[in-house]
Amino acid sequence: MNNSNFDFKKAFIEEVGSVEKIQDGVIIITGLESVSFGEIVEFESGVAGYVVDLTEKEVGAIVLGDYLSIKSGDQVRSTGRTVSIPVSDQIIGRVVDPLGNPIDAGQKIKLDKYYPLEKIAPGIVNRKSVSMPVQTGIKAIDALTPIGRGQRELILGDRGTGKTTIAVDTILNQKKENMICIYCAIGQKNSKVAGLIELLRKKGAMDYTVVVSASASDSVALQYLAPYAATAIGEYFMDKGKDVLVIYDDLTKHAWAYRQISLILRRPAGREAYPGDVFYLHSRLLERSCRLDQKYGGGSLTALPIIETLEGDVSGYIPTNIISITDGQIFLETDLFNAGVRPAINIGISVSRVGGNAQTKAMKQVAGKLKLDLAQYRELSAFSQFESELDEETKKLLNRGAKVTQILIQKKNAPLTLAEEVAIIWAANKGLLDEVPQSSMENFEEKYLDDLRIRGAKLLETINKNRILTEKEEQELEKFVKNNL
């Protein structure tokens, strides 16, 4: 016998175990004595698994891929790697699964680096306060609940109230804003994701967007990992000093996926059968969004998580958890949606806790008055229903409120630039629209903005560039309003 057969310096050293039980995407393994938490294991069929549970004698792993190919008694080997995603600039414009494999029938993505899915969020020294705005192009949001780069703003509401529409409109508006957008679909219908990609392509938004998708038919393991994968891709660009926007659509389904994994692993169930660490599940995810200090590249990661409520109940377990983690929320209501107020934002309970500092000066100038008008309107409209005769002053306030509410209505997939938003809100604030009948408001807005885009292109450009409204510009705007009345 050749002695080189006994030369163990080049031997493959590995940990092996065998499959004991298979339970809907979760595999219980015996052996693997020195495997670590979060490690990737490999099954005989070549499918990878992700260790999420370590007990005295057994190891629980979730399967990343086809779990039907795994048989009881199969050999499992540890790899010593933790779960990570290959990233490079080429990933922009692509649709990938949470492991970075393209699912858009395109070519293989050349990798630059591996980024770990689970990463500790940047510490205090690395951070800076939010100071630059994210222009969503939606009047109601930019004026009343402004979002800053590095902020986490929750979008919540019942099904069919336009949550995804707000998120997608925000992506559409980032064309010239130097932002990289990542849309992360968790447990969504494939038809919905396909339609969304189609829309992004048509509007040219795929040039700066990445879609990460784990659909309803993918294994729960992939659904569980999807938001972390999207964040990892975002961090790659953030570390390069870029501004990134990540949309998690939606975290309710992510919590469901995690609940399923936890229940199969027999972890103790708490409220609504969610495990005890469901808060940490989302807090560690959203804590990774931040604005980095200039010393560390100055990039930012803005998060727009989406949550679906049931019957408008914001006091559910997962909604309250995420409301407390995020820096504000935008609440969408079915009643408003059906009444034609779209986006159906309930201004009363929607807030943005940090975005105000990031708002542009021009917007600040008009938003203050707008908020006041709306607050007075809300108070009076409830009160005035019982009164038959109202004094002039009240009538005037009610009229103004109705007009202001009307101008915040916006068609979907039609985001506006900062100057356009400011121009229309300014007109309502000044009371120039008080005489316009409610029914022709929409008409007026269309005409006014079209006129501004053609004849007032220069004026819009100045406002967009200087981000401030001076007296001279106000005079010009007034002329445009009067021309179109």
Task: Name the residues annotated as catalytic.
Answer: 353
Helix (H, G, I), strand (E, B) or coil at 214: strand
Q: For other proteins, give the closer residue by CB, 109 or 144.
A: 109
Q: To 10 degrees, what angle do helices 251-264 and 278-286 make?
A: 140
Binding of other proteins by 60 (CB under 8 A): no
Binding of other proteins by 12 (CB under 8 A): yes
Q: With contact defined as beta carbons under 8 Å apart, do 359 and 418 qualify? A: no
Which helix (H) or strand (E) segment is 29 a member of? strand 26-31
Binders in 66-105 for other proteins, by CB under 8 A: 77
Q: Which stretch binds other proteins (CB under 8 A): 9-17, 279-287, 343-351, 423-431?
A: 9-17
- CA–CA gap between residue 27 and residue 341 (Å, rounded): 48
Task: Quote the least distance from Cβ 18 to other proteins, whole Å.
Answer: 9
Q: For other proteins, give the closer residue by CB, 35 or 245.
A: 35
Beta strand ranges found along 137-241 (DSSP E): 147-148, 154-157, 179-186, 209-214
Task: Quote the least distance from Cβ 58 to other proteins, whole Å.
Answer: 12
Task: Quote the least distance from Cβ 14 to other proteins, whole Å.
Answer: 5
Q: For other proteins, give the closer residue by CB, 18 or 190.
A: 18
Q: For the residues of 30-84, what is the DSSP string, one character each?
A: EE-TT--TTEEEEETTS-EEEEEEE-SSEEEEEEES-GGG--TT-EEEEEEEEPE
Q: For other proteins, give the closer residue by CB, 9 or 458.
A: 9
Binding of other proteins by 17 (CB under 8 A): yes
Task: Quote the least distance from Cβ 63 to other proteins, whole Å.
Answer: 20
Task: Quote the least distance from Cβ 55 to other proteins, whole Å.
Answer: 15
Q: For other proteins, give the closer residue by CB, 14 or 198.
A: 14
Binding of other proteins by 7 (CB under 8 A): yes
Task: Quote the least distance from Cβ 181 to other proteins, whole Å.
Answer: 32
Q: Which stretch binds other proteins (CB under 8 A): 7-15, 82-90, 298-306, 397-405?
A: 7-15
Q: For other proteins, give the closer residue by CB, 6 or 386.
A: 6
- CA–CA gap between residue 45 and residue 24 (Å, rounded): 17
Q: For other proteins, give the closer residue by CB, 29 or 408.
A: 29
Evaluate the omega torsion of the peptide bond into residue 250 and state whether it is cis, within 30 degrees of 0. yes
And the tokens for 204?
């040219």
Q: Which stretch binds other proteins (CB under 8 A): 11-19, 226-234, 307-315, 330-338?
A: 11-19
- CA–CA gap between residue 332 and residue 268 (Å, rounded): 33
State the number of binding residues for other proteins (CB under 8 A): 20
Binding of other proteins by 1 (CB under 8 A): yes
- Site mask, other proteins, residues 178-197, x = CB under 8 A? --------------------
Binding of other proteins by 293 (CB under 8 A): no
C-beta contacts of 382-389 below 8 A and 24+ residues apart? none
Q: For other proteins, give the closer residue by CB, 84 or 350.
A: 84
Task: Quote the least distance from Cβ 213 to other proteins, whole Å.
Answer: 25
Q: For other proteins, give the closer residue by CB, 8 or 386.
A: 8
Q: Which stretch binds other proteins (CB under 8 A): 10-18, 196-204, 374-382, 423-431?
A: 10-18
Binding of other proteins by 16 (CB under 8 A): yes
Q: With contact defined as beta carbons under 8 Å apart, do 242 and 210 qualify? A: no
Binding of other proteins by 3 (CB under 8 A): yes
Q: For other proteins, give the closer residue by CB, 57 or 176.
A: 57
Q: With contact defined as beta carbons under 8 Å apart, do 208 and 180 qualify? A: yes
Binding of other proteins by 6 (CB under 8 A): yes
3-state SS, 276-308, equals CCHHHHHHHHHCCCCEECHHHCCCEEEEEEEEE
Task: Quote the least distance from Cβ 112 to other proteins, whole Å.
Answer: 18
Q: For the residues of 373-393, what is the DSSP string, one character each?
A: HHHHHHHHHHHHTS-S---HH
Terminus-to-terminus CA distance in the chain, angstroms? 99
Q: With contact defined as beta carbons under 8 Å apart, do 397 and 376 qualify? A: yes
CA dihedral 11, 12, 15, 21 (to 10 degrees): -130
39-43 and 75-82 strand pairing: antiparallel
**Alpha-helical regions (H) of 145-245:** 163-172, 190-202, 220-239
Number of residues that this document lists for the chain: 485
Binding of other proteins by 5 (CB under 8 A): yes
CA dihedral 31, 33, 38, 44 (to 10 degrees): -30
Q: For the residues of 153-165, what is the DSSP string, one character each?
A: -EEEESTTSSHHH
Task: Quote the least distance from Cβ 77 to other proteins, whole Å.
Answer: 8
Task: Quote the least distance from Cβ 42 to other proteins, whole Å.
Answer: 11
- Site mask, other proteins, residues 241-280, x = CB under 8 A? ----------------------------------------
Q: With contact defined as beta carbons under 8 Å apart, do 377 and 404 qualify? A: yes
- Site mask, other proteins, residues 19-48, x = CB under 8 A? ------------xxxx--------------
Q: Of residues 8, 178, 311, 475, which one binds other proteins by CB under 8 A? A: 8
* Interface residues toward other proteins, by CB under 8 A: 1, 3, 5-17, 31-34, 77
